Amino acid sequence: MIGQEKDQSSIVDAFVNMSNYRNRTLDAVENSIDWKPIRRKIERRYRKSGVGRPAFPVLVLFKALLIQQWNNLSDPGLEETLLDRISFRRFCGLHLEDKVPDHSTIHKFRDRIAPIIDQLFDEINRQLDAKGLILRKGTLVDATLIQAAGRPASGEDDEPSDPDATWGGKADKLTYGYKGHIGLDQESELIRRVEMTPANEHDSQQFEAMVSGDEEAAYADKAYASQERSIWLQQHGIEDGILFKAVRGRPLTPIQKQINRELTAIRRSVEHVFGTWKRLYRWRRCRHFSLKRNRCSLFVLCISYNLKRAIKLQAA
C-alpha cells in the first residue's frame, strides 16, 4: 500500500517557526529535481491499496536513503536521526507529529527499489543533463575496491558470511569484497554510468558499459589497454584516451610516455570521486550482504554524490 503525501503544514508545525530549521543545501537539492517521475517509478513497485497500516509515501523513504548516504548512517542510525533533526524531516516531507520510518521499513524499501535503482539513477541524470550540466567532452573510466561487510571463509569447511563477495586487487594487497565501476563526465565530474561486480572481476570487463557513447573521448588507465578496445572506440567515433601499456620486449617509447603523462593529468579527476566516497561518505566498506543490496546502495551513493555535485556546479 502506498502512503499519501501531505502538501499542507500540520497544526503542530504551525506552532514552530520552521524557517529556523532550514538547511540550505537540502533546500537546493529539493528544488533542483522534479520528484514526480521518481515517485511514479517507485510507486509501480507497490500496490495502490490493501489492508494493514498505511505505508510511508515513497518519496519519504527515497529521500531518507539520500540523507543516509550524505551522513554515513546505518539503518537504525537513520531512524534515530530522523526523530531528532527537523531539517532532515523537512527534506523527507515529514511533519513534526509524523512517525518516522523504522530501520526495518528502510531495509525493506531498499530491497523493493533494488531492481529499478538504475532507472532512478538515469532519471536523475536525465534532469541534470536537461540543465546543461553534463558536458560530454570525455568520460573517465575507472574502478575501486570496496571491502565486504562480512568476513571471508576461514577454512575449507567454513562458509563466507557474504557469498557474493570475492577476493580482488593486486597480489600484494588483496581486498575481500566488491568493485565499483564508474564512467565520469570529464568536465562536470558527474557520474554518468555505474556498476558493481565481485572484486575478482577485472576492471576492463566493464569498460564498454561505462562509456555512454555520446562523448568525444574515453580515458582509462593501462589496465584497460587492448587493441580490441581501441578498435571498439574507433568504431563508435570516440577518441581513445587509454594509457599505453608496455609489454615484455616492447618498452614504451618517449612519445608514449609523454602521452601517458598527459592522459594521467586528465583522468586523475576520477580519484576525487573515489576520495569523496571513502573519506566524506565513509564508503570504504559495504553495509550489506549480497551483491543485490550493495549494488543498490552504490547507486544511491552515486545519486547522492551527483545531487550535491550539481548544486556546486549550478552555484558556480
pLDDT tens sequence across 50-73: 554 447 899 999 999 999 999 999
Alpha-carbon distances of 60 from 91, 93, 98, 109, rounded to whole Å: 8, 6, 11, 11
**Average pLDDT, integer, range 281-305:** 92
What average pLDDT is seen over the chain? Answer: 87
Length of the chain measured in residues: 316
> Is residue 152 predicted with pLDDT exceeding 70?
yes
> Is residue 181 predicted with pLDDT exceeding 90?
yes
Which of 3-12, 97-106, 129-138, 161-170 bottoms out in mean pLDDT, i.e. has the lowest? 3-12
> What are residue 143's DSSP bridge partners?
181
Integer Rg of the chain from CA: 22
Domain extent listing, the chain: 11-118, 135-286
**Average pLDDT, integer, range 116-132:** 96
User: From the CB of residue 258, how many other CB atoms can be counted at a distance below 10 Å?
Assistant: 11
**Average pLDDT, integer, range 2-15:** 51
Instruction: List all residues 6 or more positions away from 8 whose beta carbon is below 8 Å from its beta carbon.
Output: none
C-alpha 210/C-alpha 185 separation (Å) is 11
Residue pair 200/166 in contact by the 8 Å Cβ criterion: yes
> Is residue 115 predicted with pLDDT exceeding 90?
yes
Single-letter amino acid, residue 5: E
pLDDT at site 248? 83
pTM: 0.88
C-alpha 63/C-alpha 248 separation (Å) is 52
User: From the CB of residue 44, how many other CB atoms can be counted at a distance below 10 Å?
Assistant: 11
Nine-digit cell string for 163:
557469498
SS3 for 249?
A: coil
C-alpha 203/C-alpha 228 separation (Å) is 15
Nine-digit cell string for 207:
569498460
Which of 50-64, 204-218, 302-316 bottoms out in mean pLDDT, i.e. has the lowest? 50-64
Vertex 146: Cα angle to 143 and 151 (nearest 5): 145
Instruction: List all residues 6 or more positions away from 38 whose beta carbon is below 8 Å from its beta carbon.
Output: 59, 62, 120, 123, 124
Q: Pick 158 or 100 by higher pLDDT.
A: 100
Alpha-carbon distances of 197 from 15, 151, 181, 205, 274, rounded to whole Å: 50, 17, 8, 10, 16
Helix (H) or strand (E) holding 103: helix 103-113
**Average pLDDT, integer, range 161-179:** 87
Single-letter amino acid, residue 189: E
Work out the pLDDT band at 307, boundaries 50, 70, 90: very high
Helix (H) or strand (E) holding 300: helix 291-315
pLDDT at site 305? 95
Which of 15-19, 32-36, 267-271, 281-285 bottoms out in mean pLDDT, i.e. has the lowest? 15-19
**Average pLDDT, integer, range 94-118:** 91
**Average pLDDT, integer, range 288-307:** 94
SS3 for 15?
A: coil
Which of 5-9, 13-17, 138-142 bottoms out in mean pLDDT, i.e. has the lowest? 13-17
Taking the alpha carbons of 217, 222, 223, 229 in that order, is the dihedral positive or negative? positive
DSSP summary character for residue 247: B
pLDDT at site 247? 82
Alpha-carbon distances of 1 from 48, 210, 228, rounded to whole Å: 5, 36, 50
pLDDT at site 211? 96
E-state strands within 171-260? 173-185, 191-198, 217-220, 239-242
Strand 139-147 to strand 217-220: parallel, antiparallel, or no bridges (unpaired)? parallel
* % of residues, the chain, pLDDT over 70: 90
Q: Of the ranges 48-57, 229-238, 274-283, which is most confident?
A: 229-238
- To the question of domain 135-286 being in CATH 3.30.420, the answer is yes
> Is residue 46 predicted with pLDDT exceeding 50?
yes
pLDDT at site 7? 54
